[in-house]
Amino acid sequence: MQITYLGHAGFLVETEQAILVMDPWMSREGAFDSGWFQFPCNHQLGPLVRAKLHKSSKQKFVYVSHEHQDHYDLQFLKSLPNQSVTYIVPHFQRGVLRTGIGELNPGALISCRHGEAVDIPGGCVKLYLDDAGLNRDSAILIKTDGQAFLNLNDCKLFDEVGAVSRSEGPISVLACQFSGATWHPTCYEYSREEYERISRQKRISKFEMVARAIDIVRPRTYLPSAGPACFLDPTLLHLNFEEMNIFPRAPQFLAYLQQRLPENQTECLDIMPGDQISASDGRFAAKAEERVTEENYEGYVRAYAGRYASYFAGRQPKYAQPQMAEILDRLRIELGRKLATFTLHERIQVPLYFKLCDSGEEMLRIDFPARVVELAREIKETDYYSVSTPSWQIVKVLEGTITWEEFALTFRMRLNRRPDVYQTLIQGFLLMQAEDMNWFCGGLLEIEQRRERIVVEAGGTRYSMDRYCPHQGADLSQGWLDQGRLWTCPRHRWQFALDKGGQCTASKGSVHAVCLEGE
């Protein structure tokens, strides 16, 4: 099995009888309304992928892990010889990915549920799904020629990697995300000190999860993938050069691994688009002509951004005041449509303010218990959540050019929350499409109904607590103890203070921990 790295989360896997392309993100317009771009640049590999799929007599497959645009590059997929390709996709409850791939008229479309295997010539592939409301991701295992390649990409099923490794046998190559990809704290109104504190905490937490996965799976080779992206929009360019944020580069993570796992026998590679790895013996071929290092990083990114200067010039239309009022009213109607199907609205006790930052004083205030969206000119409450964004960006949401989740990932907004406590329901309201609101709320209620308990130990003290994380249902029996008292979720790193009844340190969630000493 030969693996060619295509950049970001993309891989081209070639066996004796088959070709499998994974998450090819190759388009020159990037993703999320050109908020993100491939790092390093991989556009030059598009012709290679097309040629492989056009000319090879082997059976051809394309796997798309989930619908985020840095994995589901519809523009590039349209350029492939799809009538001779079999697509493999996860069977999420939300059918957007299946529908979109189906419209490409592929030779075949296989939609897999969690743990379902698909035969390919000389072996099989198996998908693992995380379909928990706010997250729709999947991982893929390909087994052929006596080798196994487990590609987790963005999928955070770290609570299941041990079971996968035990049931499927030795893993030759492991690839997974090591960098952040979220709007917190990137888009939040924090002081520089607080921003760096949160970023450092999230960075180390992410590093630790991947290190644990490597230690559990013990692959011959680990490939850092699925991030970070590059930000070429002049309004976002500064993110590339922050000393501390949630977008570390591979060398920074690999340095952490050397200290964290000093006896680690896994070869951890700093790969560039075009590099090749043999799964059978771990041989690495550095094929990329241009290699980005920590020393040449800033010059590389500034030159990359310079090539897009004319692309971003004049990309932001300006609206007259009557148009602004119309946009705000359209936004009021859309937010009201989402609120009308939001069955858990009464649980949110703080208002959400939505402002167009270029439209004057008027903004929208969402009163969740009353299910009302109304005009406001100021924020009067001390407890609230607010979003501010350019009008031209929200217009693209209203026109259906981008989804609400894609809007969030453009990073072209500022957010504030008082108190600074994560609320799953507000996050869901902002990210979900109106038609997905009931399903999202139903998923949270289903998690709440899980009554199974586990016993964990902290400093010689035993505690009984809920087995499943209240955030998105991860199995906390696969978690770990931090700082002697904080039980850590293996999927999203939420922490629960065992000595405080299992209260989450970042939200109002709880695992209802009970001390068993003296029983």
Is 393 in the same domain as 502? no
Query: Is residue 15, in this structure, part of any structural domain at all?
Result: yes
Q: Whole-angstrom Cα distance, residue 181 to residue 36? A: 10
Say yes or no to pLDDT of 49 above 70: yes
Q: Whole-angstrom Cα distance, residue 252 to residue 230? A: 16
Is 106 in the same domain as 22? yes
Is 164 in the same domain as 97? yes
Ramachandran region of residue 34, left (φ > 0), alpha (ψ -120 to 50) or beta? left
% of the chain exceeding 70 in pLDDT:
99
Query: Is residue 315, in this structure, part of any structural domain at all?
Result: no
Query: Is residue 490, in this structure, part of any structural domain at all?
Result: yes
CB-CB contact of 275 with 5 (8 Å)? yes
Average pLDDT value for the chain = 94
Q: Enumerate the β-bridge partners of residue 23.
A: none
Q: How confident is the model at residue 518 (pLDDT cuts 50, 70, 90)?
A: low
Is 175 in the same domain as 286? yes
Is 170 in the same domain as 292? yes
Looking at 383, 406, 441, which one is the last position of a domain?
A: 441
Specify the pLDDT at position 321.
85
Is 137 in the same domain as 234? yes
Residue 506 DSSP code: S
Strands 221-225 and 267-268: parallel
Stated pTM of the model = 0.92
Query: Is residue 502, in this structure, part of any structural domain at all?
Result: yes
Q: What are the pLDDT digits (tens) for 2-34?
A: 999 999 999 999 999 999 999 999 999 999 999
DSSP string, 160-195: THHHHHHHH---SEEEEE-S--SSTTTTB---HHHH
Residues of the domain holding 157: 2-310
Looking at 310, 332, 352, which one is the last position of a domain?
A: 310
Q: How confident is the model at residue 123 (pLDDT cuts 50, 70, 90)?
A: very high
Q: What are the pLDDT digits (tens) for 208-242?
A: 999 999 999 999 999 999 989 999 999 999 999 99
Q: What are the pLDDT digits (tens) for 178-206?
A: 999 899 999 999 999 999 999 999 999 99
Is 405 in the same domain as 262? no
State the residue for tokens 């035993």.
462
Is 63 in the same domain as 26? yes
Query: Is residue 316, in this structure, part of any structural domain at all?
Result: no
Say yes or no to pLDDT of 395 above 90: yes
Specify the pLDDT at position 30.
97
Counted domains in the chain:
3
Say yes or no to pLDDT of 135 above 80: no
Query: Is residue 396, in this structure, part of any structural domain at all?
Result: yes
Is 348 in the same domain as 385? yes
How much is the average pLDDT of 361-373? 96
Q: What are the pLDDT digits (tens) for 260-308?
A: 999 889 999 999 999 999 998 999 999 999 999 999 999 999 999 999 9
Q: By 3-state DSSP, what share of the chain in percent is helix, strand and coil, each rounded to 5?
A: 30, 25, 45
3-state secondary structure labels for all residues of 95-133: CHHHHHHHCCCCCEEEEECCCCEEEECCEEEEEEEEECC
Q: Enumerate the β-bridge partners of residue 59.
A: 18
Is 395 in the same domain as 247? no
Specify the pLDDT at position 314.
80
The CATH number assigned to the domain holding 55 equals 3.60.15.10
How much is the average pLDDT of 317-334? 92
Is 241 in the same domain as 143? yes
Query: Is residue 401, in this structure, part of any structural domain at all?
Result: yes
Specify the pLDDT at position 348.
95
Q: How confident is the model at residue 519 (pLDDT cuts 50, 70, 90)?
A: low
Q: How confident is the model at residue 65 (pLDDT cuts 50, 70, 90)?
A: very high
Q: Whole-angstrom Cα distance, residue 304 to residue 40? A: 9
The CATH number assigned to the domain holding 377 equals 3.30.1050.10
Looking at 375, 409, 441, which one is the last position of a domain?
A: 441
DSSP SS3 for 338: helix
The CATH number assigned to the domain holding 497 equals 2.102.10.10
Is 436 in the same domain as 469? no
